Structure 1
Amino acid sequence: MEILLYKTITAIGWSMLHSIWQGAILYILLCIAMLALPKMHARGKFNLAFIFQGLMVVGFISSFSYYYQLPLAETDSLTIHADLMAQYLQQVPQHAFALESLFPYLFIIYLLGLGIHTLLLTRSYLQLRKLKYKGLHGSPLDWQAQFEKTKALLGISGYVPLFLSQRISVPITIGFIKPMVLFPLAYANQMAIEQVEAILLHELAHIKRKDYLLNLIKVTIETMLFFNPFTWAFSKIMEREREHACDDMVLELVDKPLTYAHALVELETLRQEKNHPLSMAATGRNNLFKRIKRITKMETNYISVKQQLLALLISSVALISLVWLLPSQELQAAEPEKVQLQTVKAPLVPLAALAPVQDTTKKKKVKTQQVIVNSRADSLALPKEVQAKLKSIKEQSKDIEKHFNSPEWKERMAFIEKNAQSIQEHFNSPEWKEKIEKMTQKIEAQFDSPEWKAKMKEIEKQGKEIEKYYNSPEWKEKIAKIEREASKVEAYFESPEWKEKIKKIEETGKDIDKYFKSEEWKKKEKELKALQNSTEL
């Protein structure tokens, strides 16, 4: 049991360390790909980040499997003269042993973090189940018609219900096998049908892309690799590009992108009125602003480039720092090295008790003997393949640094900053502010107009009539009648009369089958064939 625990602790420790540099490499590759392909679709960026995050899990599991299966040192063959072993240990890099001494603490941290994230994941799952079965109300008929039309546009053929929920403040999609869309009940009478259509189209885009399942996988990876900062960096990119990909699907189907942008602004405005004023800081005002700018084709790409360059630089520094922390040498564990040493006859001690002690025994020359030293392979040096990869990474980092310090790159950045300043001046100009103010006043006037208020009253009236109808005695009587008829049908199919009929049908079928296999039928069949042949002649 102690051996298994020791192997588990060691495997977890090394796997955590290796996971960080593996994540750094993958994140650098993602940043390079996004810089090299600035016109890549949001769907492609999401898929690339999802694949790289999956490779981090593969690397973590592979490292754990490798270190867990390594054989332990054989203590029977690890006896050697104390002075000679002390001399040997002085030549071994001591930071390898220092790293392994931290593994028990890393193991405890990993277990605690894994338990906490598992509890949070379970809590989120239970909250989603409550949303799925409690506080639901039927949606208006015109919403249902528009919802079915939107499903047809996206090619979603399965059953996807739409409900109004009093427990949420933003529209959400729940479920993968049986998905459903929930819309806040408080906003039902405060948004135009065109805006509702755009929001529902966005939620159905999540269903079309199977985002609920992909998000479940992402959260599982976050729980397993919570200690790795690059796990959360990949998740942040995936969440951003997932929303952008759904926005792109919406923009392909709506006539006016500005309508969708207004819908997002209206939705966020209503959410702020229902929640605490400071809640916007936690939900991402900046992210919403970037989405709206992207939808209206006013995004400034230079910000994204700077952020990616900064992330690339931080990842490179983290990777190089981790390389220096890891042991620079490693003994191969497959075959123990045989060393011939000229030793003196003295009391032998086990490796666990080795220490630099003074030998007081009477020394006597003896013949040369072979001593097999079998030690932990991973605590001393890295394999040659890993060393080669790390060397290649260092060279690539130097090339990247050289590229970023080149005159061409600096000239390009100066050009981007110049354009950024002109764009910023445009957005800060009085003309632009006046245009935005006029647009805001126009929207406010539309929402305060008698026509809009009359339309809202009509929708409220229809909603009350629908609710009244479903709560009426006539509707309840119809439902009760349907249930009674269903019970009668079920009782009939379970009755002895029906079972007797089924039994007779089965017996008749057997008799027919037996008749067609009988000699009498075969004889008649031959006669019919002979008659048919004679007729043809």
Structure 2
Amino acid sequence: MSLDSVAENILNHLWMISWQICILAIVVWGLCKVFSRSSASFRYWLWCIILLRLCLPGDFFQADREGYYIPNSLPTVWETPVTIEDALPENYTGSSSPIVNEPYISLHLSFPGVIVLLWGLCALFLGSIVILRAVYAYAQIKIYPRIEDPAILNLLEECQKSLGIKKHIEVLLSPKESDGPFLTGILFPKIILPQHVIHSWKEEELAPIVLHELAHLKRRDLVVNWLQILLQIVYFFHPVVWYINRKIYTERELICDDLAVFYLGGKRKRYTKTMLRVLQESNDVFSAFGAVGLAEKHHFLKTRIIRILDSKYLGYKKMKKLTLFILTLFAVCSIGVFGQQQTTATKAEGEVVVTYSIFTVQDGKEKSLNPEIFFLSGVDVKKQQKFAPGEYTLLISQAGYHHILKKISIPDGVKKFHIQEQIQPLRREIKKTSKDGVDIDVVIDGDFPAGERIDPEIVALNGKDVRDNVFQPGTYRLKISQPGYATIEEAVTIPKDAKTFVISRTLSTNVRKVITQISYDVQDNKRPQITMEKIGTKEKILINSDTKIKPDSYLLHIYQQHYFPIVSKVHVWPDDRPYVMQFQLVSKPVRIRLDVRYDDKKNLPQQLVTLSDLEGKAVQVVHDNHRIKPGKYMLNIQHPDYTFGREKYIQIHPGDQFLILEKMAKKASSPSGKEYTKLFFK
């Protein structure tokens, strides 16, 4: 099976979503024009309905097109045990030897495949740019100093109480003049303020900025903003998606303006005065990538100021239940209609027509084959070509080739289902013997991986290798031996007048001893808890020093307190040697608690606590409740009025928290104000 069908499905999905959101955008645009005097929240949620439609996956198998069976990278029989009886008719009298061949996937790409490949590369390129910009923004913000001004922190606390926000928020100082006030950090929110705002603005002028950023946090706008970025990467080619994202951004800022004015007690002039000062004191304002903030471009700030000062300004109002009902009804109807339209229009009626093409590769060229046996759950596809959607057992058999035996599913909603497979010639040709001898055909597989062909080291009758000797009809002692599997020794009888005798067996795997070699990034003598859960069952095995397990596919769990857990899918293959697992556990960051005492006072806020590696290169500034990786560090505490003495080494062990309890002595003389400022900001 070529990859063209996959590309066609993706292309059809992108086309289906593209025209659907165009229609939805026209409808929403019309509603926004009709209800232009409605609240910004109403228009915002109308545009977000289209965003929701973009998030919903399309159904690749509901289109009016052919269905295909693509062989998996591993035989399906690993997951669902298949026997030859599942695929043959009840009264079948022929002979068959099920041997699963390696699946075939053609890498040829047609025009749809090339288009999808280019789309994927462009999306990957844009995604890489987004990741790099986000990492760069995070690195920049990480070095911004925290603002410890009590007046600003009290203002933040009062604004948080007004909006009912209990989450801890940091206020950072940006050294860049181009940085406007903005909010960043989904899990650990931070408000970034530029230097000129901190140094020259009054508290009453800062309140509108803080309220605006907290409004973004209360509405979880950062989450929606990142969702917009991801969807814009996927649908980068669609101008309507760019337009929708811009409208959502516009309405989001208007809503936060309304919320800020509302919590200022309706003082519109006070709020617009702050916006006007931002407009006057800066060029076009930029914020960190992925953040949301008070301002962006000058022309948009002007539009917002005019809107707030308009005599017809409505202000912030909670949406009524009727409005919520209308929005919900519109979302369900629009998404439901578009989601089901294609299914209703193209759903196949009755049964599915099954077609197939079987081939092999000889001398580098493909050769079509018409197999002797082509059954779906006992039904000959050559005689019956229509099948109901569902799961079937596929059997393909041709003399001189490996047989195919596996489970496949015919999906619902297609008119045609095409099966394309490559079958491999037998690796070992049947040895022609003398006129009086019997041809021996060996078909050996194992219980894991299920159905996989095995070429045993020993297949002997009365101690003679069946692949190198001639045998006459009679009774023999059969021995089959392969490392990792249980040896078979039994009596077999070659009947008289037999031309070919088939030795077909399934070997059972031997149990393997498990040896665990667990290392730690930080030295630890405790033994972790290790369990292995067999995939497809809920059977869990606790691993200790003498545990033995059957070869199979497992889900491995390694747990140790204060370390990141390890969850990994492992395949234990048949072997007589022990199964060795080598993993390293990485410790979780430890919360640092600071208790720095002084001769005359306690916990002065001006101390600078740093931890560095043993070479003194990687220096980290540590705050209370700061998290740091366990290890050995060199501790140093600086204060303009106190001395710490010599640097000391500390060992931070894995745990919930680590207490740094130190005492500092007062210096003989304090530095000047200029020296203090230089030391503090350093």
* TM-score normalised by L of structure 2: 0.40
Q: Higher helix proportion, which one?
A: 1
* TM-score normalised by L of structure 1: 0.50
Q: Higher strand proportion, which one?
A: 2
Which protein has greater RCO, CA pairs closer than 8 Å, 6+ apart? 1
